Amino acid sequence: MPWKATSAMDERVRFVMDAERQETSFAALCRRYGVSRQAGYEWACRYREEGVLGLSERSRARHTQAHATSRSMVKAIVRLRSKHPSWGPKKLRARLQREYRGLVWPAVSTIGSVLAQRGLVVARRPRFRVAAMVGSLRACDEANTVWGIDFKGWFRTGDGRRCEPLSLSDLATRYVLRLQAVPRTSFDDVWPLLEAAFREYGLPVAIRSDNGTPFASSAPGGLSRLAVKLIKLGVVPERIAPGKPQQNGRHERLHLSVKLETANPPAANLRAQQRRFDRFQRMFNEERPHEALKLTPPAEHYQPSERVYTGRLREPVYDAECDVRRVRQGGELRWRGKLIFLTEALAGEPVAITQIADNDWRLSYATVDLGSIDSNAKFTARRGGACPAATPQPFPPG
């Protein structure tokens, strides 16, 4: 004969039914069921007040918690999160600590629980992180050592117009120097914005970009009009390897924040979108805590460059053993009676020809390797050559 199985709920129902019949004393009934009289009285009381449902298992958690997060703190957390939907618990806690210095705010994990309980957390798919490939790129350890520049990627505003945001930031301090919608990705549209940043913040040592227009080209050495102008200012145009955005990861991460907080969804028109960019730039620089900066905003770390922009463009100076030739206005170079086309970006600029073997010469502009020339004046271009990070620009002092 199989054993008869019963549940705790069934036993409680039988207990209260027997207690209602009052056929035996309450103490004897409790002994028969193996429970204390305190538990028995509680079950009987709950049955009279709530019926059978009152006998179900209840949570043993405390009704009040001595260290529970106060309602006012929860409201402040939710309010700040509503204002900055892309901020996580670390940034929220750091910002609240700065605004309310006299209060002890809950741990990051507790703030995360508050957000999760109110449906303010969106689960993300885990991504495999790829280590950044630095190579010969400069270390971004001090302000104005390397600036990052790039186009975020175009999108259309509510009225259907194309918006092309250009961003410029200091990679060491994450300070956003410019965030501006420009008409086109051309030199004529980018240079005025870049020059305005130079006048306001001074010159960096290098500017890092991808290989797109107008930062680079398919010309020898990857030179473009913008790259040549930067070199003449004494600024190294650094370029990441093609298809390796992680080499400019700090600047790329800025674009994710720009997308989440200014273009999701886009504004009604370009003017309204630019107002969003301006508000974001101020908030990102002055309010938003940054984990890489020990949860402080970039404005507390950035200082303008000591290299003042004067607008003076200087030609590179080469060693005495170099054969210096000036590129023609059409972008050609005359060598041993023949014309070699280089690029119109070097029109009027001096280039150096250095013999490296009996019948082989290297052609360069400043520190950029343009390619080689053989004895038959055949030019083999070096495409996409990056400027060596360790070599200073060959300019005369002053």
* pLDDT tens for each residue of 82-123: 998 889 999 999 999 999 988 889 999 999 999 998 888 877
Helix or strand or coil: residue 198? helix
Full-model pTM = 0.73
Residue with tokens 């009987």: 44
Q: Which of 141, 139, 172 is nearest to 300 (CA)?
A: 172
How far is the first Cα of the chain from the last one, in angstroms, to the nearest whole number? Answer: 105
Q: What would the pLDDT profile of 47-64 be if each residue is shown by its tens digit?
A: 888 888 888 887 777 777
pLDDT at 251 over 80: yes
Quick check: 135 pLDDT over 90?
A: no
Other CB atoms closer than 10 Å to residue 366's CB: what's the count?
26
Query: By three-state DSSP, how is residue 180 classified?
Result: strand
- Read off the tokens for 357: 């073997």
Edge-to-edge order in the sheet of strand 323-326: 323-326, 350-357, 360-365, 368-374, 379-381
Residue 383 has a pLDDT of: 64
For residue 54, what are the contacts with CB-CB under 8 A and spacing of at least 6? 46, 47
Cα separations in angstroms, 345 against 214, 227, 325, 348, 380: 11, 9, 15, 9, 18
At 127 the pLDDT is 56
Q: What tokens does 279 get?
A: 């508000």
Lowest mean pLDDT among 50-59, 73-82, 230-239: 50-59
pLDDT score for 296: 94
Distance CA 220, CA 382 (A): 5
Greatest Cα pair distance in the chain? 126
In which band, very low, low, confident or very high, does the pLDDT at 235 lie, cut at 50, 70 and 90?
A: very high
**pLDDT value at residue 245:** 83
Q: Mind listing the pLDDT tens digit for each residue in 183-227?
A: 999 999 999 999 999 999 999 999 999 988 999 988 898 899 999
Structure confidence at residue 390 as a pLDDT band (50, 70, 90): very low
323-326 vs 360-365, strand pairing mode? unpaired
Bridge partners (DSSP) of residue 363 are 353, 371
Question: Could you read off the pLDDT of 256-280 as tens digits, one per residue?
Answer: 999 999 998 999 999 999 999 999 9
The single-letter code of the amino acid at 205 is V
Average pLDDT over residues 68-93: 90
Helix axis angle for 8-21 and 26-33, nearest 10°, is: 160
Task: Name the amino acid, one letter, at 350.
Answer: P
363, 351 Cβ separation under 8 angstroms: yes
- How many other CB atoms sit within 10 Å of the CB of residue 39? 14
Give CA–CA dist 319/128, Å, rounded: 48
Closest C-alpha among 149, 163, 253 to residue 204: 149
Residues 341-385: tens digit of each pLDDT: 999 999 999 999 998 888 899 999 998 999 999 888 888 888 654
